[in-house]
Amino acid sequence: MSIILDKINYIYSPNTAYEKQALKNISLVIEDGEFIGLIGHTGSGKSTLIQHFNGLVKATSGGVYYNGADIYDTDYNLKELRKKVGLVFQYPEYQLFETTVLKDVQFGPKNLGLTALEVDLRSYEALKQVGIGDDLIDASPFELSGGQKRRVAIAGVLAMKPEVLVLDEPTAGLDPKGRDEILGQIAKIHEERKITVVLVSHSMEDVADYVERIIVMDGGSIAYDDTPRNVFSHYKELEEIGLAAPQVTYAMHALRDKGIPVDVNVTTIEEAKEAVLAWYRKD
Amino acid sequence: MIRDITIGQYYPSDSVLHRLDPRVKLSGTFLYIVCLFLVKNWWGYLAAAVCLAAVIKLSKVPFGYIVKGLKAVIILLLFTVMFNLFLTSGTPVFEWKFIRVTKEGIDLAAAMAVRLILLILGSSLMTFTTTPNQLTDGLESLLRPLNKLHVPVHEVAMMMSIALRFIPILLEETDKIMKAQQARGADFETGGLIQRAKAMVPLLVPLFISAFRRAGDLAMAMEARCYHGGKGRTKMKPLHYKKRDGVAWLVLAMFLAVVVVTRKL
């Protein structure tokens, strides 16, 4: 049970002046239940890559396999795939269209042909999981704040109960509080539903606290694919491709340079705290 | 799919045609269209087609890319051909119940189709080789005399350039929203007419909202930079005629002459 990408190449507008190779020979395996951070600079191809996961974009060459089945087979049911691989686009609040929050969330599950009861159950559950209270479900989605709209949009995909949840920059344009809330809710959903989550971001800070694996994209290729700890150890190379390790990595390196023997490869603030306290107590 | 709509878009390349003064291209296109209506017989269409082919070759825009622009007007083309084919009176060559095709009808339909195709290819070549900015500048400068008649030339030109600029943006937006709704299980491709029209709602509502939002943002940005219409506005790149523009005028004059001569054949 996994998503396998085999030597994917994707070229935009081939044979015109706008031709651009967005993905170069990408091979990737995403296992069940993983929590992955997909990081890359603007234009590195990360948004194009995730659209291959549910067949919205067809690779120029290469194959995509979901649970062992080739999704480019002529008789493969793409609608079924989109039910299993939920994709939340960047700025998803711009796709809201219904008159009430609840109706908008129901759009996805209704398209799956579920019973009215099941549609309602799933919608209420999804809204609850993203922290939208009962007072808002009958409001117009256009009256909500930016952060609330985004959570409604995420609920719209969650209500389809996907096995894999892919989110493209879910925190773009949010304030720190909104960012932490959304990321916390996503982590909770990953834990409770035991689904695979792919979190796309250009900020290491965003993903370092949550994910188990980081894929770094650069110029349409995969630059690193490893645990956060190992990826951040390349912090100098990351800077060269326009990214940066989390600030805690820099702080730990600075401490070591001052002669304090701490582990420089910690990835979260919590781990850094432990490392510094351990050194402090030992003295 | 949606990116395939190429009519009216700019195609970046480096050719003589791209460097030509937009005023020459605008009036040249106008002259070309007038010529197409002056044409009386097939010799004239042949002359126009040869000239157009030469200019397309010169423009370095791939021919296939230009032809794709015809897709957008295929319905109009079919309608014109049908009407001319069935509704022209004359010597009948084919009759079946109420359908009647005449010799004159076939001639007229063919001539109309060729004329329309030449017209669309020719005028889209202008937009392929001229950036919206240049196009506006050219139009504004050509229409300046109308200012005396209190026609808001600058405003019209500005509106046109904004409209042209927004076509690719809105197309991209449509593509994005379509994908987002497809990811939520929306189906735009199957079902009957009513079902398909209903399926458009999740696409059109966000598209309209985003168009209004963008319009508001743009108005705000223009206002913030003290835009107040064309009065006293200067250009960063004022238009100047160059030698190649003179050559272009000569070529156009020759084309006009050829077309007039073919009328006598």
CA distances from A176 to A99, A136, A180 (A): 29, 22, 6
Question: Is B185 in contact with A54 (Cβ distance < 8 A)?
Answer: no
**Model pLDDT, residue B5:** 61
Instruction: Please tell me which residue of chain A has the smallest CA distance to B14.
Output: A17
Question: Is A16 in contact with B62 (Cβ distance < 8 A)?
Answer: yes
> Looking at A50-64, A151-165, A266-280, which range is the least confident one?
A266-280
Question: Is B186 in contact with A160 (Cβ distance < 8 A)?
Answer: no
**pLDDT tens digits for range A178-190:** 888 889 999 999 9
Q: Does residue B137 register a pLDDT over 80?
A: yes
Contact B94, B100 (CB under 8 A): yes
CA distances from B265 to A65, B32, B43, B50 (A): 66, 20, 8, 17
Average pLDDT in chain A: 89
- Structure letter (DSSP) for residue B45: H
Q: Which of A160, A154, A57, A153 is nearest to A111 (CA)?
A: A160
Cβ-proximal residues to A275 (8 Å cutoff; 6+ apart), any chain: A252, A262, A263, A266
Instruction: Please tell me which residue of chain A has the smallest CA distance to B128.
Output: A17
Q: How confident is the model at residue B1 (pLDDT cuts 50, 70, 90)?
A: very low
**pLDDT tens digits for range A114-154:** 999 999 999 999 999 888 988 999 999 989 988 899 999 99
Instruction: Please tell me which residue of chain A has the smallest CA distance to B200.
Output: A97
B contacts of A158 (beta carbons < 8 Å)? none
Instruction: Please tell me which residue of chain B has the smallest CA distance to A96.
Output: B206
Distance of CA A87 to the CA centre of its chain: 9
Question: Is A82 in contact with B182 (Cβ distance < 8 A)?
Answer: yes
Main-chain dihedrals φ then ψ at residue A29, nearest 5 degrees: -125, 125
**Model pLDDT, residue A8:** 92
Contact A228, A208 (CB under 8 A): yes
Contact B54, B63 (CB under 8 A): no
* Three-state DSSP class for residue B95: strand
**pLDDT tens digits for range B209-239:** 999 999 999 999 999 998 888 777 888 888 8
Q: How confident is the model at residue B7 (pLDDT cuts 50, 70, 90)?
A: low
- Cα B160 to Cα B257: distance, rounded to the nearest angstrom: 32
- Cα B137 to Cα A26: distance, rounded to the nearest angstrom: 45
- Structure letter (DSSP) for residue A73: S
> What's the ipTM?
0.85
Average pLDDT in chain B: 86
Which is more confidently placed, A17 or B23? B23
**Alpha carbon of A206: minimum distance to chain B alpha carbons (Å):** 23
Contact B166, B9 (CB under 8 A): no
B contacts of A92 (beta carbons < 8 Å)? 180
Contact A155, A123 (CB under 8 A): yes
Structure tokens at A59: 């690779």
Q: Which of A112, A108, A206, A188 is nearest to A152 (CA)?
A: A108
Q: How confident is the model at residue B11 (pLDDT cuts 50, 70, 90)?
A: confident
Q: Does residue A156 register a pLDDT over 90?
A: yes
Residue-wise over A3-26: b if at least 16 C-beta within 10 A, else e? bbbbebebbeeeebeeeeebbeeb
Which of B64, B176, B185 lies closest to A89 in CB terms?
Answer: B176
For the residues A40-60, what does the mean pLDDT come to? 90
Question: Is A94 in contact with B3 (Cβ distance < 8 A)?
Answer: no
Q: Does residue B48 register a pLDDT over 80?
A: yes
**Model pLDDT, residue B8:** 67
- Cα A224 to Cα A149: distance, rounded to the nearest angstrom: 33
Best of B184, B188, B201, B209 to mutate (most A CBs within 10 Å, chain A): B184
* Three-state DSSP class for residue A85: strand
> Looking at A28-32, A105-109, A203-207, B27-31, which range is the least confident one?
A203-207
Domain limits of chain B? 1-130+240-265, 132-233
Residue A63: its H or E element: strand A61-66
Question: Is B183 in contact with A82 (Cβ distance < 8 A)?
Answer: yes
CA distances from B159 to A195, A245, B143, B166, B218 (A): 50, 46, 14, 11, 12
Question: What separation, in Å, do the N-terminal and C-terminal C-alpha atoms of chain B show?
Answer: 45
Which is more confidently placed, B189 or A5? A5
**pLDDT tens digits for range A68-79:** 899 999 888 888
Q: Does residue B97 register a pLDDT over 80?
A: no
For the residues B46-60, what does the mean pLDDT come to? 90
Cβ-proximal residues to B224 (8 Å cutoff; 6+ apart), any chain: none
Structure tokens at B2: 């949606």
Residues of chain B above pLDDT 70, percent: 97
Which residue in this structure is represented by tokens 């009958």?
A138
Question: Is B180 in contact with A107 (Cβ distance < 8 A)?
Answer: no
Q: Which of A120, A90, A25, A41 is nearest to B183 (CA)?
A: A90
Which is more confidently placed, B9 or B204? B204
Which residue in this structure is represented by tokens 């990081």?
A39
Q: Does residue B93 register a pLDDT over 80?
A: no
- Cα A154 to Cα A130: distance, rounded to the nearest angstrom: 8
Which residue in this structure is represented by tokens 């458009």?
B200
**pLDDT tens digits for range B202-211:** 999 999 999 9
